């Protein structure tokens, strides 16, 4: 009797509908995970040098900078940053994602006056209006700026 019911179940439209429902749920779960993987906001900072040319005498000047890049997948807008306690407004400067291949970055001059530690708090928001902040630390050790980017946190 039980075997006959199982055979009837497998031969009915009900079984096909159950398989279809499971397939749709799995496809939805995969799509949701793909969206989550492509929804990444992260800022990364590295030390660099900015070369400038003195127009008056033709000499080149080298200034140490913090080069800030968007290594996430989302477009971000820089709102402001606090550099060693002083606030600077950036007016929504656009920082495209690294995956866009735009090669854009934002730089902030590092001090050349003997300061050996910099604390930088960067405030920004993404395309969906979610607000974030990242802490960046820089230390001048053995005549080299060492920069650390800490993970972002919601504001």
Here the tokens at position 60 are: 């080149």
Instruction: Note whether 25 and 82 are same-domain residues.
Output: no
Regarding whether 21 and 49 lie in a shared domain, the answer is no
State whether 26 and 84 are in the same domain.
no
Beta-bridged to residue 64, according to DSSP, are 49
| Placement of tokens 């080069």 in the chain | 67
Q: How do residues 59-109 score in pLDDT, each as one tens digit?
A: 888 899 999 999 988 889 999 999 999 999 999 999 998 777 777 889 999
Output the average pLDDT for the chain: 87
- In this structure, the answer to whether residues 52 and 77 fall within a common structural domain is yes
- Can you name the residues that pair with 80 across neighbouring β-strands? 89, 123
Q: Are residues 18 and 71 in the same domain?
A: no
* 76 and 92 belong to one structural domain: yes
Rounded to 5°, the CA angle 99-137-91 comes to 60
Range of the domain at 29: 2-37
Residues 47 and 31 reside in one and the same domain: no
Enter the tokens of residue 82. Answer: 């606090």
pLDDT at 111: 94
Question: Number of structural domains, the chain?
Answer: 2
24 and 81, same domain (yes or no) = no
Same domain as 29, residue 93: no
Position with higher pLDDT, 17 vs 111: 111
Residue of 40, 47, 41 lying closest to 120 (CA atoms):
47
Is 11 in the same domain as 82? no
Q: What is the dihedral of CA 87, 76, 154, 72, to 10 degrees?
A: -130
One domain for residues 6 and 63:
no
Alpha-carbon distance 82 to 124, whole Å? 12
- If asked whether residues 83 and 108 sit together in one domain, one would say yes
């Amino acid at each position: 009797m039980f075997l006959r019911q199982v055979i009837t179940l497998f031969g009915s439209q009900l079984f096909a509908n159950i398989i279809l429902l499971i397939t749709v749920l799995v496809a939805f779960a995969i799509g949701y995970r793909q969206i989550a993987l492509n929804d990444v906001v992260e800022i990364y900072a590295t030390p660099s040098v900015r070369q400038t040319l003195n127009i008056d005498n033709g000499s080149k000047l080298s200034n140490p900078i913090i080069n800030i890049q968007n290594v996430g997948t989302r477009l971000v807008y820089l709102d402001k940053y606090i550099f060693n306690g002083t606030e600077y407004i950036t007016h929504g400067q656009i920082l495209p994602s690294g995956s866009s291949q735009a090669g854009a970055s934002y730089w902030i001059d590092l001090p050349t006056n003997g300061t050996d530690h910099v604390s930088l708090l960067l405030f920004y928001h993404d395309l969906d209006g979610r607000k974030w902040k990242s802490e960046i630390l820089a230390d001048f050790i053995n005549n080299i700026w060492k920069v650390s980017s800490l993970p972002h946190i919601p504001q």
